[in-house]
Structure 1
Amino acid sequence: MASIDDCPYLKVSEEVQQAIHENRPVVALESTIYTHGFPYPDNIALASHLESIVRAGGGVPATIGILDGVARVGLDAEEVIRLAGAAGKPDTLKISRRDLGFACGMGSPGRRYNGGTTVAGTMILAHLAGIQVFATGGLGGVHRGAESTMDISADLTELGRTPVAVVSSGCKSFLDIGRTLEYLETQGVPVATFADGRTGNIDFPAFWTRESGLKSPMVLEDEATAAAVIHAHKSLGLQSGLLFANPIPEAFSIAKAEMDKVIDKALQEAAQAGATGAANTPFILAKIKDLTGKNSVKSNKALIENNVRRGTTVAAELMKLQTGINHGQASFQPAPQYQQIGRSGSTKHATSGTPETISSPVKQNTVTSPSVFVAGALAVDFSCDYAPISTTANKEPVLHTSNPAKIIQSLGGVAHNVARAANLVGDPVRLCSSVGDDLSGRAALDALATEGLEITGIKTRIGSSTAQYVAINNASKDLVIAMADMDILDEPAAQPGQPSTSTTTSSDTLNDLWLPQLQQSKPTHLVLDANWQSPALARWLDAAKSISAQVAFEPVSTAKAPRIFQLPRQTPLRTFPEASVHLSTPNSLELSAMYEAARSLGFFDRQDWWAVIDALGIPSTGARVAMTIATNSTLVDAGIPQQTIQLLPFIPTICVKLEADGVLVTQILPAGDSRLQDPASSPYILSRCFNLPEESSGVGGVYMRLFPAAEKVDGKDIVSVNGVGDTFLGTIVAGLAKRGKDAKIEELIDVAQRAAVLTLKNKEAVSPELASLRSML
């Protein structure tokens, strides 16, 4: 590999260099698809999406292109936007091997050239950087009539001399595929097609169609086999590239007969227009798009995504072979928070790449799917504690003027805090959230790595701002007011007549990143915070039901808590025993907001609600005395126990956080629950179901218990109230996941409160000291 350190014409990003140094999977991505394929701003959205696919597979994306006369391997978000923004401009170059010297050399004394690299151009630069796997859409090839025109793509000769493995959907259908395969054989290029679940004779694919009518030279069963071929090829010192053809997903494949007719017409019009050489392929692609009514565009996008996904897995399997890790074990499921042992033997963090000590327990070379997913807000937090100059001054900040304060910045957001707490006290957790392509977003990703949280579920959204939360606290550290900008989780809302500034939406990311991860890992528990809009909450709930995951809902605030009762009509909130939400941890104000929302929206008029309420066994005269005995008269006068019971059919376990007064747990005990017969639980059984089995709705009774505060914290010991409730929920969910089906939430309240106290006394949104509580779960 050529040295890149002193070359002024080649810049490899620090992230890519670090990943290669640490033997992590890196996938090269070309850029002509953005400069000469998809229009602006669709090309930016596609670029971000393809990089997200690589990251979701545990790899590092290396988008390659020419910017300001310098070849870049690993374009960052701003550089991708600049390059993609040049799409369609006459001076935006399409760069193959022959063009690299011109684009870089002529840019030195004169203008700064920008350009997208073709397959050939990308292969060269990937190889110079040390990248072994490249995923793209389609390959160039031998054009029809090449026997007279000599029109043969440089991609083929590059494959003959540059040792990079290319994953593509074959070559474009309008090329002469038979002659292309012959030419590749002459160049000594190994060619194979992924079986993709098929047996028998398998065709080499034809881009938009899965079959070309030409048998593939070789067939690969899976990505591990492809990696083994690359490993052997390299070990033998062979210097050609490899072509692994990946058939388009069946759902997006266009019938061969239909496509043949379209291609014949497009070729005819290209000949009439005199579109030859470099202009030929763009002309034909544009004509095919017109003739297929954009069906080919959908297919094109689907096959590129499929190729990038498969290329990432190949790169991961190749790293396993080359580093000698996990031979003969289960297939690789990457998680960047785990440490890896580099060739030198030093322990390096898989994201930051620097030797360090991580406060949370980290597994080495052991990869498992997380049992807990947390989806919601990741934010940069600012805690502003009022610090009056005079000790006799009012403890409340003064409105409409500047106040002296101590301001602490940290990584926060409800979902992040819950995930951080659960990760510290339990097993690895997957955080699903978004950051913007700004300084705060990059800082947040670095901070996650430091905390030991993986970034597999983090989406960087082009054109969006990273969420921020500003809390104003009084001199006693009690919250006075908070301001939260969490719009990054919402659909981008453009003003009338104005385009949205964001190129991807939460809906896109749900479909393309988070829900596929949920289906793959099948966690036992999913935590959702109310920063999601109700339509997104509904889709998360449906996905959780499909994998039988237990759902915990964190209400976030009185303004957002009602969202769980504002789901779209087509996705109604289900009731016990098939409840959509299984646990919620509101404070008393959030509980009231949820109760009022359910009441005003008619949830208490539903027949399925009444069937559960009737089965609870509460006397028609009410249960005020029983509630007072179980809690206290102050809570009953405030209506808090009553509100929890009214909500139980929809949320069968509710833990109300009462600050210094402790935690009130109200839950439905299913019929046959051992606590119904346990003398130790008897004081907390508020009521029992005496209905006939067919009328019981599966209810056994109601458990209500007021837990006192685990510790009375002196005001001078309170450092920050931010993240205390999130820590409480994260600890509970970690305990439930760890203990399995037989877990009883009342056995976790004490340790969860202890965890909350640790955070209360710490300047961070979640105290790192939570790791000391692991043994209590």
Structure 2
Amino acid sequence: MAYLLKAICRCSRVATVHHSRHVSTISRRLVYSEEVLQAKIEGKPIVALESTIITHGMPYPKNLETAHEVEQIITEQGAIPATVAILKGQLTVGLTKVQLEYLAQSKNALKASRRDLAPIAAAGLDGATTVAGTLIAAELADIPIFVTGGLGGVHREGELTMDISADLSELGRSKTLVVCSGVKSILDIGRTLEYLETQGVCVCSYGDTDDFPAFYTPRSGYRAPYRVGNAREAARLLSSTHALQLGSGIVIAVPIPKESAMDEKIIEEAIQRALEEAKKQGIQGKEITPFILAAVAKATAGSSLDANIALIKNNAKVGAEIAVEFKKLNDVVNGAKVLKDKAGRQRSAELHTGNDVLVIGGANVDRTYRVTEDQVKLDGSTHPCKTAQCAGGVGRNIAEVLWRLQRGRTRLLTAIGDDADGQYLADNVPGLILKDSVVKGGRTPSYAAVLDSSGECQLGLGDMTLYDYITIDLVNKHMDLLVRAPLVILDGNVPQTTMVHVIEQCNKLNKPVFFEPTDIRKAIKPLNFRCHLMYTSPNISELRAMAKYVSPTINTSHTTDEVSEIIELAKVLKDIQVLIVTMGAKGVIIIKNRGNGEPDVRLYPAETVDKIINVSGAGDSFAGGYIFGLLSGLDESYCVAMGFQTAKAALLTSTTVPTELNVYRKNAKFFQLDNLISK
């Protein structure tokens, strides 16, 4: 078997990696369902759901039926449901129907609050997340809205027992909006509200009254500090909270529908009897809530269970409506940014993820000549061979990957001739290359590789002089495209003056730039004028060249501890925020400069691949997949996994960029990322 990153990395020698205190390997802290991951990538509204209501709140099969109905309600409102649980030790966001049925019948799923998450995960057990546990998962997954039935709170006689739910403290350190029907009636509602105030949690009633609900009943006798009348007002509140970076949560307390509400007197009498019975049996801690709820359900002949189901369904509808409205608000906010033009005047321009990514770099025709004899003799002899031709060029390859993954929304600014090769490149992905890239009378760049019978390159020949036509004037013709682009990608083939101009313009616009070096000579191009780069993806040889250029006295001799060497080299490159360093069979190291001299370093192991067909476009495909993850707003680990999967697809095809990426996207195979990351 061959390691995937051997093909991605351009350095040939790989030294032994020793463990370093700076390096942490990837832990799959979250696994998304295909539906949830697809929603994240496409920017759809998502609603998180807890799972203790399935395992500890209702009997089977009523719990499963309710779970399906709640998810369906959210879907009907235009949002995506994401039920959270720990399955076999893996914190999972979004459950399939099979997983929901498994959880609904489970007798061994543990309640998972903050203190329980790590032990359950470490032991490989099943866990149903409480409000607190689900809040943590929602934060990790960047899901801003969470729907539940009722919050935990301060238990009755809590001033003596100090029995206070972790839900409250978690709300104080989570920026999530929680839709609920207040706190459970079995709790001390007054003290719970006081505790939420202490934690800085904004509590709002929902609808036309400021009465704070008490789960089974629409009124608790207490008033909420604030009120929102509808989903749009709630979404605006959430948007304001995020803008102010408060870091604390919001509670939207939705009263149970009147037709499903219970008699306050009947409920209170049932609770008091259940509390007395719990004392007699010595039941306390996290076991008391399910005990009392079960006792109340029995005492009310099942009416409380019906009320519970009615309110969670109603909450799901409200939560989904808020999620949809919040998405609309975000689209408006991202749709108009204020930018400064050259004269310093203010003007507005559309900036949103739907705009085209701009790639500025090389495009050429790749030709390979694979000699079928055992030896290649460079003596003028003619050798029989097999020839192949495909579209190539680092910038073009990355652009094509993004074009296929994003269903377009990518443009390439390059230099090609008006000859047959230029037409071949233009026809390869129609609409990708900007028309101004065609140079009249120009000779399209080309690369030829002579391979021996085993596929090893013995001689490479390149005609790349036309890249000098990627000028500042050419870039300025497309400045509107650059301004609107969410990201600009440069490869090392761009002339240095043009490269510096592009980076300077992007720096003024606070726009991220991704620089892909093509060799050690070109890796230093953006460093001449201390330009600020957001991302660059060198191999270790290119990293050494970059560090040596910035700090000539730095030691760049090869060492047996590549990880430590990479970390020291990265410290020199302070003007680059994120370094994505390929390490051959060892994988990828991502280094983030934090400005305090100690970078954040993570090592991602490589995957193994059998029967490699072609290695020429694997590195560029990795970069394209990684960038696609960035544009989709995914966690770093999933960006790397996407890069690995795209590179793997490139290794298994004869072309530089796999044409089947659009098929992967369509049938969701591409997004089964829990199977793509090395364990």
TM-score relative to the length of structure 1? 0.41
Higher relative contact order (CA 8 A, sep 6+): 2
TM-score (norm 2): 0.46
